[in-house]
Amino acid sequence: AQSVTQPDIHITVSEGASLELRCNYSYGATPYLFWYVQSPGQGLQLLLKYFSGDTLVQGIKGFEAEFKRSQSSFNLRKPSVHWSDAAEYFCAVLNSGYSTLTFGKGTMLLVSP
Amino acid sequence: DVKVTQSSRYLVKRTGEKVFLECVQDMDHENMFWYRQDPGLGLRLIYFSYDVKMKEKGDIPEGYSVSREKKERFSLILESASTNQTSMYLCASRGSIQYFGAGTRLSVL
């Protein structure tokens, strides 16, 4: 069965510093991968997706992610974090048969002044 | 603009009540989903539907049922609400991308 691991439950980053959120997946074939962001009390918003092709994908709000098959990873990055980026971030993989998504348990990003 | 609309942002119900959570999407998607979200447990899939009148159990269907009479509408039903069903409920629909509603925070007292 597919699985997604986000090893960090919480991360604190200073405003203006760079950010990397880790995501590891377990999937037999080429995965379809996603990163979502959830602001407090809100639903999830799609940041970016990887289906195929270029392994470095650009998303909204200045985020990017790199697919590394050899490491089964899809880490999310941002070069300079803003206070408004404080939120919870979820990595997800589309399950075989393309029926459902499997989500990681999320990483809460805190931004310090 | 893409829209998944959940009928209520906040609900307070009594134990034993029948509760309906409604979700409507305007993207003509075939696939719709109900999740619950609890701290430390992430998103857990309750039920999903891939077509009108079709439904599939997710990971935690016990205590819930669903209804999909029209393509745009997917309802989650708590037949007899219990306190352990206090949670945030998220509806989603998917074409190539999965879109989420804003969520319904349900408190069962």
Average pLDDT of chain A, as a whole number: 93
Interface contact B45-A45, CB threshold 8 A:
no
pLDDT band with cut points at 50, 70 and 90 for residue B96: confident
Of A42, A49, A106, the CB nearest to B102: A42
Mean pLDDT calculated for residue range A20-37: 91
**Does the pLDDT of residue A95 top 90, yes or no?**
no
Encoded tokens for A39: 């602001």
Residues in chain B within 8 Å Cβ distance of A105: 40-42
- Return the residue of B nearest to A89 by Cα: B42
Higher per-residue confidence, A80 vs B3? A80
| Ramachandran angles phi, psi of B36, nearest 5° | -120, 150
Three-state SS string over chain A comes to CCEEECCCCEEEEECCCCEEECCEEECCCCCCEEEEEECCCCCEEEEEEECCCCCEEECHHHCEEEEEHHHCEEEEEECCCCHHHCEEEEEEEECHHHCCEEECCCEEEEEEC
What is residue A30's DSSP assignment?
P
Q: How far is A102 from chain B (nearest CA, A)?
A: 9
Encoded tokens for A38: 């959830």
Contact of B8 with chain A, judged by CB distance below 8 Å, is answered with no
**Does the pLDDT of residue A96 top 90, yes or no?**
no
What's the rounded Cα separation, in Å, for the pair A77 and A22? 9
Cα distances (angstroms) measured from residue A88 to each of A105, A108, B55: 10, 4, 29
**Does the pLDDT of residue A2 top 90, yes or no?**
no
What's the rounded Cα separation, in Å, for the pair B66 and B69? 10
Of A42, A49, A105, the CB nearest to B97: A49
pLDDT band with cut points at 50, 70 and 90 for residue A29: confident
Contact of B33 with chain A, judged by CB distance below 8 Å, is answered with yes
**Does the pLDDT of residue B2 top 80, yes or no?**
no
Mean pLDDT calculated for residue range B69-97: 95
Q: Give the per-residue pLDDT at B43.
A: 92
Look up residue B95 and give its amino acid. G
**Does the pLDDT of residue B25 top 90, yes or no?**
yes
What's the rounded Cα separation, in Å, for the pair B45 and B33? 7
Q: Give the per-residue pLDDT at B11.
A: 96
Of B33, B42, B97, the CB nearest to A104: B42
